[in-house]
Structure 1
Amino acid sequence: MDPLEDVLALLGTRAHLSTGMTAGGSWAVRFEPPDGVKFNTLRRGRCLLDVEGLTAPIALEEGDCFLLTHPLAFTLFSDPHAVPVDAGPLWTAAGDGLPHVGDGVDTFLVGGRFSFGDRARGLLLDGLPPVIHVPADTGEASAVRWALGQIDAELRGHPIGSTLVAEHLAVVMLIHVLRLHLAREPQAVSGWLAGLADPVVAAALRSVHARPAHPWTVAELARAGAVSRSTLAARFKETVGLGPLDYLTRWRIELASQRLRTGDDTLATIALAVGYGSESALSTAFKRITGSSPREYRRRHAGAPALETSPGPASLAAG
């Protein structure tokens, strides 16, 4: 697995698709801050997106999509003078039908959200800007447009298994959007995500994620990127905010904490699986990073639901 696959798998990433929305004429719909990550694609027409805290609305054209990565209220509208209606009652009134606002049907949106397990905010979402906008005319966005077209076809045609297929396609779309954003605006992300945009740091990250239990040294990780130890250490710290071995420790603690939350393996078994020679070595590192012992952490999280934005044991960034 590469780092992005690793994190998305650890977070239990799932897509939840809505029925979409049609609109026409002068209209505006106000949405409450979403759980997880909200996405919408404009399949027909044009409108504007106004997100709480942003200085100006974002113009959306046919084929555009956006991800709202932070829990912020937002409004979709065609006319800045239109009085916004709340999305909740609009969807309730639609029942099993397609929500509609305004006059006519010149605008059609398809959307949904991505939900995650524990640690989503610390591991992934905090490293992203509040909104990622992917214009339809972006040359590299062809894969995103393909996924969106397939999702639209599944939702319209309702072939057997269409919901499951559409949800998996939405996760594919998420990965493509993250790839495109890293390629287009690497300076707009932070932490390990920023490291993926640097080929030298990315090589070290892939090595760590491929074999987290290996007793890595900076020299070994530097060889993966074909650079010196000092070069790797400097570039890793500059982009990720941590040294390579500090990152390794925090990733091991993430893996250990996930096992403590979801399984019943002994501490000794978990310690060996994530790269520590003994239960005491794991306990020392775990308490240093999280402030609590593995046993305390397991007791605190035993039977607890996986909150989408709950604080977790460690952060793969400085601070």
Structure 2
Amino acid sequence: MADPLSEVVTLLQPGAAFSKLVSGAGRWRVRRTEPGRPFYCVVLEGSCRLAVEGREPLMLQADDFVLIPAAHHFATSSLDPPDDGQDAPPTLLPSGEFRLGTVEGPPQVRMMVGYCVFGSPDAAMLVSLLPQLVCVRGDQRLATLVQLVNEESRGQRPARELILTRLLEVLLIEALRSTAGTAASPGLLRGLADARLAVAIRRMHEMPTHPWTVAHLAKEAALSRSAFFERFSRAVGLTPMEYLLAWRMALAKKLLRKGGVTITDVAERVGYGSASTFSVAFSRHVGMPPARYAREPLPASGM
């Protein structure tokens, strides 16, 4: 049986940018306005405050894990942040740890923070299927995975990049499935948390070449056509046919990037009866013909 969550994470092609150990004492705040880079953090001891634009601030405690798949505007701070509006520049300690706020004295919080990159040319679409914020509390498995990512990223051992890729895939899947039943924002996790919709989503992933219609998918989900359409659109944030198209195009992009296949082969493998029909759909969705897309250089660093 297809596992849509694993397939989406694998297609994202996660890679490690960097991770670091950070501690804080006194009053401090760091604001980040990153261009959509995936951010993760695990609190090792103590507590701090996380404020994400458009959301209520969260108090994070030891063993809490946070993942923001496309971080834009957010801030981490002491529980009582400074009111002067100034950010605290970090100080690199002799231990290799970065200290925020007061350098002297024991830390009030220690955390591992990091960014990863998504190498997929379709990363924006895939990330849109994930929650905007994932917060998992008290999960030692995630803390262990973050520690392994940190250790591997700092070493220069053989097969480092392969190990990091696999560790990040496991980290993302573990974090996302931990909140699959409670994801508040529309997306793939909310769809998979609904037992009826999950059947239809898995069928699309198992058989992307099948000539699916809303009626066929509604039958798989044991729902009426109208109930299925409304329920799917509300949970996933896309209509069933929009999701199917997006998934087929993501698969097509992967095949075209690999090379060694003809446009006709790609068309057949993603559910189109002819190369011309596929080319029209691909051009409309991506903004360029498939043949040209296959020749385009890969993005330098993904998201």
Q: Specify the TM-score bucket, using the shorter chain as the normaliser.
A: 0.7 to 0.9
User: 2: CA distance between counterparts of 1:156 and 1:292?
Assistant: 41
Please name the residue that 1:270 is paired with.
266
Equivalent residue for 1:184? 182
Q: C-alpha separation between the residues in 2 aligned to 1:156 and 1:10?
A: 24
How big is each residue's C-alpha offset from its partner over 1:192-244, in whole Å with a ceiling of 9 and x where there is no partner?
Answer: 44322222111111011012122334454334323344443343334335443
The runs of 5 or more residues in structure 1 that have no matched partner are: 137-143, 310-319
Q: Could you tell me which residue of structure 2 aligns to residue 289 of structure 1?
A: 285
- Provide the C-alpha distance between the structure 2 equivalents of 1:84 and 1:246, rounded to a whole number of angstroms: 42
1:195 to 181, 191, 194: 191
Q: Does 1:113 align with 2:109?
A: no
Q: Which residue of 1 aligns with 2:299?
A: 305
TM-score (structure 1 length as normaliser): 0.76
Structure 1 residue 110: Cα displacement: 1.0
> Would the alpha carbon gap of residues 156 and 282 (structure 1) be closer, same or farther in structure 2, given more than 3 Å must change?
closer
| Cα distance in structure 1, aligned partners of 2:222 and 2:272 | 27
**Structure 2 unaligned residues grouped into runs of 5+:** none
User: Structure 1's 34 and 64: CA in aligned 2 closer, same or farther, altered over 3 A?
Assistant: farther
Over 3 Å counting, the alpha-carbon distance change for 1:65 and 1:162 in structure 2 is farther
User: Aligned letter for 1:303?
Assistant: P
Q: Write out aligned runs for 1:45-194 (5 A).
A: 45-51=46-52, 53-54=53-54, 57-78=57-78, 79-81=80-82, 83-87=86-90, 90=91, 93=92, 97-101=96-100, 102=102, 103-106=104-107, 107-117=109-119, 118-125=121-128, 127-129=130-132, 131-136=133-138, 144-149=139-144, 151-152=146-147, 168-185=166-183, 188-194=184-190
Q: Is this contact kept in 2: 1:191–1:239, CA < 8 A?
A: yes
* CA separation of 1:242 and 1:155: change in aligned 2, threshold 3 A: closer
Alpha-carbon offset, residue 62 of structure 1 = 1.6
The one-character-per-residue Cα deviations of 1:76-115 (angstroms, maximum 9, x if unpaired) are 322422753235xx4xx45882222323233211121232
Q: When the two structures are aligned, how many residues end up with a matched partner? A: 292
Distance 1:254 1:265 in 2: 16
Letter of the 1:57 partner, please give it.
P
Higher helix fraction (1 or 2)? 1
Relative to structure 1, the CA distance from residue 94 to residue 147 in structure 2 (aligned partners, 3 Å threshold; closer, same or farther) is same
TM-score (norm 2): 0.79
What is the Cα-based RMSD across aligned positions, in Å? Answer: 3.4
Given that residues 43 and 61 in structure 2 are in contact (C-alpha distance below 8 angstroms), is that contact kept between their aligned partners in structure 1?
A: yes
Distance 2:274 2:148 in 1: 53
Shift in alpha-carbon separation, 1:280–1:29, aligned structure 2, 3 A: closer
Looking at structure 1, the residues matched to 298 and 51 of structure 2 have their Cα atoms a distance apart, in angstroms, of: 35
Letter in 1 for 2:65: C
Aligned twin of 2:218? 222
The range that moved more, 21-30 or 201-210, is 21-30
- Give the strand-richer structure, 1 or 2: 2
Sequence identity, in percent?
Answer: 33
SS of 2:276 mapped into structure 1: helix
Taking the aligned partners of 1:154 and 1:4, their CA distance within structure 2 comes to: 21
Query: 1:273: Cα distance to partner?
Result: 1.5
Residue 85 of structure 1 aligns to a residue whose secondary structure is coil
Q: Distance in 1 between matches of 2:146 and 2:159?
A: 9
SS at match of 1:80: coil
Q: Secondary structure at the match of 1:216?
A: coil
